[in-house]
């Protein structure tokens, strides 16, 4: 074996005492060994991958017994980092597992790389085009798309996307991508995926402090996650029609930016008073949800890095789930468990829908000061743009999309978390 490639092995035995009590990794002449002596073995492997990378090792081979699809993937999740190239010689896998691993690497790495890309390099049009390129790379003939941007959004009454994005020198964009394996243009749409794609969020006139703004290149994480989820579901054999609706804009400060006290009037008849320009994600998602409701699919999923409140509730390790549909929420949590990802349900009730009062419009874009359930009221706001909001709609507040700094199992940056769970849900519901 090439001396520059470090063999990585697995062991169910504890490391020798010289490596310290409960040591995760030991080293010998034959390579490095990850010791799986705890209950969460996939977690241990991911942390082992992070430790290997932390020692400056960039080229490894997974050798010996115990390496399967999920363990190989767990190692890659920890080993991968946003800076510098890494290579792995994978173990022998069954053809189906090899195909799945290759799909995850291609698609979830695309999600992570896209979210990590600086905002200067990834504006609204670039995100839309990069998404189209991802699907074109799947070599499928059943994908079509339409990109609407700039003043065309205003003229076609996409009031939320246009209003939020008009303050930037880069045009806002709406991407409607149609995956239709039936090849029947009249086929019903099984699901609509609506993603928040704020390619940079300054907060607008409700400007963020630097400590909150320095990760806002990742505020398009919901859009990237849903694009990746649909792409992965396609590679897994999804056979029903799905539309991906991405609502993409910069939220910037300028003489043309929207202001506090402005009122947005949407195509579904709802009017919204702006009391915080940093609550812009819900304003762009509203346009996509109106379209999704008009299509009337069986399933609507929206995903967004929407609120800090969700992250306060569940931390950086879980995605938050909010829905009026108990069965659908349970199905998503089951899908996440099957994919070894962490999702947690937060409360959402009818009374939250009344906690957005405005003296000048139907809704305020933030809750009244006396109501502090920020994640719940944000989801409740979105429900006003879903016709049948109690059935077939789930909102994902993407709390685990991005990490500002590294931890023991993740490098700094995007995680790709949630792609597998949403893909799994699409396939389960499509059966």
173 and 257 Cβ atoms separated by less than 8 Å: no
Q: Which residues contact 263 (CB under 8 A, 6 or more apart)?
A: 271, 272, 273, 274, 360, 361
Q: What residues does 27 pair with on adjacent strands? A: 32
Q: Of residues 282, 353, 403, 420, which has the active-site annotation?
A: 282
Tokens coding 278: 């940093």
What is the distance between the alpha carbons of residues 308 and 234, in angstroms, rounded to a whole number?
32
- Residue 345 designated active-site: no
Q: Of residues 58, 140, 208, 267, which has the active-site annotation?
A: 208
Ramachandran region of residue 57, left (φ > 0), alpha (ψ -120 to 50) or beta? beta
What is the distance between the alpha carbons of residues 421 and 339, in angstroms, rounded to a whole number?
6
DSSP 407: -
427 and 140 Cβ atoms separated by less than 8 Å: no
238 and 154 Cβ atoms separated by less than 8 Å: no
- Residue 22 designated active-site: no
160 and 287 Cβ atoms separated by less than 8 Å: yes
Active site residues: 208, 282
């Amino acid at each position: 074996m090439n001396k520059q490639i470090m063999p990585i092995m697995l062991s169910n035995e504890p490391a020798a005492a010289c490596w310290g009590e409960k040591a995760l990794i030991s080293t010998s002449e034959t390579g490095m060994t990850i010791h799986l002596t705890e209950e969460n073995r996939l977690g241990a492997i991911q942390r082992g991958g992070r430790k290997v990378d932390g020692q400056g090792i960039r080229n490894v081979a997974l050798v010996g017994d115990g390496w399967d699809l999920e363990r190989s993937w767990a190692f890659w999740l920890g080993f991968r980092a946003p800076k510098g190239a890494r290579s792995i010689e994978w173990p022998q896998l069954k053809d189906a597992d090899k195909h799945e691993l290759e799909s995850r690497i291609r698609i979830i790495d695309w999600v992570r790389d896209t979210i990590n890309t600086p905002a200067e390099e990834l504006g609204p049009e670039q995100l839309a085009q990069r998404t189209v390129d991802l699907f074109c790379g799947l070599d499928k003939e059943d994908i079509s798309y339409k990109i609407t941007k700039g003043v065309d959004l205003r003229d076609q009454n996409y009031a939320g996307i246009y209003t939020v994005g008009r303050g930037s020198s880069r045009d806002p964009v709406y991407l409607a991508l149609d995956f239709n394996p039936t090849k029947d243009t009249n086929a019903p749409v099984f699901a609509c995926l609506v993603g928040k794609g704020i390619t940079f969020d300054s907060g607008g006139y409700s400007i963020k402090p630097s400590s909150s703004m320095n990760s806002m290149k990742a505020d398009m994480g919901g859009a990237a996650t849903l694009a990746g989820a649909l792409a992965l579901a396609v590679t897994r054999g999804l056979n029903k029609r799905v539309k991906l609706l991405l609502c993409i804009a910069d939220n910037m400060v300028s003489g043309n930016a929207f202001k506090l006290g402005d009122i947005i009037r949407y195509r579904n008849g709802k009017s919204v008073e702006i009391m915080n320009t940093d609550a812009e994600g819900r304003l762009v998602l509203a346009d996509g949800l109106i379209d999704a409701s008009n299509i009337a699919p069986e399933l609507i999923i929206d995903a967004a890095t929407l609120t800090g409140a969700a992250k306060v509730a569940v931390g950086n390790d879980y995605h938050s789930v909010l829905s009026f549909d108990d069965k659908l929420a349970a199905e998503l949590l089951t899908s996440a468990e099957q994919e070894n990802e962490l999702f947690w349900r937060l409360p959402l009730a009818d009374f939250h829908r009344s906690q957005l009062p405005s003296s000048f419009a139907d809704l305020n874009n933030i809750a009244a000061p006396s109501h502090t359930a920020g994640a719940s009221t944000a989801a409740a706001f979105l429900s006003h743009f879903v016709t049948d909001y109690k059935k077939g709609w789930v909102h994902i507040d993407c709390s685990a999309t991005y990490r500002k700094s590294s931890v023991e199992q993740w490098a700094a940056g995007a995680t790709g978390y949630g792609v597998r769970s949403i893909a799994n849900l699409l396939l389960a519901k499509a059966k």
